[in-house]
Amino acid sequence: MAATMNAESPAPQAAALRPQAAAGGDAFGRFAAYVEAEIGVRLPPSKRMMVAGRLRRRMAELGFATLDDYIRHLFRDGALDAERTEIFDAVTTNKTDFFREPTHFRHLSDSALPEAITRRRGTRQPVKLWSAAASTGAEAWTMAICAAEHARATGPFDWAILATDINTRVLRDARRAVYPDPMLAPVPPDLRERWVMRGREGQSGQSRIVPELRRRVRFAQLNLLDAGYPLERDIDIVFLRNVLIYFSSEEQARIVGRVAGHLAPGGILYLGHSESMIGQGAALAQIAPATFKRVD
């Protein structure tokens, strides 16, 4: 499930926005318009202090005392492309938990994985899973634990997980797979015993996902607003949860349609429970709360 992102190529709508954005309006308004055009995140004036706080270190590195100075540098000095990663990392939300919305993981273990294993039988292809808004990795590692537990209970099968996010900083944390022990509290004790290594000495209070699972999960940067995704079109199981709420209704429909296009026939898509209505259509049939199957 290879994924490569062309981080140097701005979205067409964002490129078209730049001359107009640089011509007038307040600095933060120009910045907010650029961010919304690129990745769909809306930044009302009330978010100004949050953005300034998250970019404080970067502004200091470049010698800018205020957010307005930094923004003027972006537009006036042609620094938008160079600063894309810093900007996107600063404005994206990274809320994530292990076993969040646990009914999805029960469905994954009880229904989605058995169906995918049956589809893959005789193909020499692994069961393919995708965490499409991976953040710091808790969702992807929960998926991995479920897959490993299913193999342990029913017999070995080949599987692989791709985990993507727009934010490169959280992807670095996700790859490390090291978490403070309180964050792992939702993982049942027997599963922690099998799939998590407790830190020792200088790493007391932290734990790491075991190598057996880390070998199965690959992380890559991906912007859900891109017109196309460099992914295979036979993915068995996709988690696209609690990210669509940050996009407009039109963007939500386009994203769900693109993601559905990468599902194998009969593949499963999980949305956040507050996003369930967004999954209507796009060759998807709802089969459980916030759970959809590709039916074409």
pLDDT tens across 55-87, in order?
Answer: 998 999 999 999 999 998 998 888 888 888 888
CA distance 240 to 231: 15
Of the candidates 58, 91, 124, which is a domain's last residue?
91
Which domain does 52 fall in, by range? 12-91
Q: Is 97 domain-assigned?
A: no
Q: How far is CA 270 from the centre of its chain?
A: 13
Rounded average pLDDT over 182-189: 94
Residues 287 and 142 in one domain: yes
Reading the block at residue 32, the tokens are 């907010």
Rounded average pLDDT over 147-164: 97
Q: Is 197 domain-assigned?
A: yes
Q: Is 112 within 8 Å of 236 (Cβ atoms)? A: yes
Q: Is 206 domain-assigned?
A: yes
Residues at the binding site for S-adenosyl-L-methionine are 94, 96, 100, 139, 165, 223-224, 241-242
CA distance 243 to 178: 23
Reading the block at residue 103, the tokens are 């009914």
Rounded average pLDDT over 132-144: 96
Q: What is the CA radius of gyration of the chain?
A: 20
Residues at the binding site are 94, 96, 100, 139, 165, 223-224, 241-242
Residues 78 and 206 in one domain: no
Q: In this predicted model, what pLDDT tens digit does every residue of 232-265 receive, in sequence order?
A: 999 999 999 988 887 888 889 999 999 999 999 9
What is the structure's pLDDT at 282?
Answer: 67
Residues 46 and 126 in one domain: no
Residues 142 and 286 in one domain: yes
Q: Is 33 domain-assigned?
A: yes
User: What percentage of the chain reaches a pLDDT higher than 70?
Assistant: 89
CA distance 75 to 138: 36
Catalytic residue positions, numbered: 54, 165
Residues 23 and 126 in one domain: no
- The single-letter DSSP state of residue 206 is E
Q: Is 144 domain-assigned?
A: yes
Question: Which domain CATH number covers 233?
Answer: 3.40.50.150
What is the structure's pLDDT at 277?
Answer: 74
Rounded average pLDDT over 163-176: 92
What is the structure's pLDDT at 279?
Answer: 67
Q: Between helices 67-76 and 27-39, what is the axis angle to 10°?
A: 60
Is pLDDT above 60 for 151? Answer: yes
Q: Which of 83-87, 111-115, 205-209, 251-255 has the highest mean pLDDT?
A: 111-115
Number of folded domains in the chain? 2
Of the candidates 68, 91, 114, which is a domain's last residue?
91
What is the structure's pLDDT at 10?
Answer: 37
